[in-house]
Amino acid sequence: MMLTERIEGRRRAVRDHADFTYVQREEFCRLLLSTRRMVRSDEPDLNVRGLLDMETGTRFLIEQEKLFGK
């Protein structure tokens, strides 16, 4: 099994988890620049970038290739 296939399988498992919200690039950038208290919450082994909203506990994720346009 190729590395990318393993990463995709693990990403699917994360997507199914209720505590995560996947967002598109525009939304992620808007959240990053907002006045909301956010901390980085990445999943480097999945090549996923994340933000954790400190007030609500909501975690917003995006795949690196979608964020950087690759």
**Are the C-beta atoms of residues 22 and 61 closer than 8 Å to each other?**
yes
Structural domains counted in the chain = 1
pLDDT band at 7; cut points 50, 70, 90: confident
**Are the C-beta atoms of residues 53 and 41 closer than 8 Å to each other?**
no
**Are the C-beta atoms of residues 61 and 43 closer than 8 Å to each other?**
yes
Phi, psi of 62 (to 5 degrees): -150, 140
**pTM for the model:** 0.77
Report angle CA 55, 57, 62 to the nearest 5 degrees: 115
Which residues span the domain enclosing 44? 3-68
Nearby residues of 46 by Cβ (< 8 Å), 6 or more positions away: 7, 10, 11, 14
- Note the pLDDT tens digit of each residue in 25-49: 999 999 999 999 999 999 898 899 9
Task: Give me the pLDDT at residue 1, please.
Answer: 53
Task: Give me the pLDDT at residue 27, please.
Answer: 97
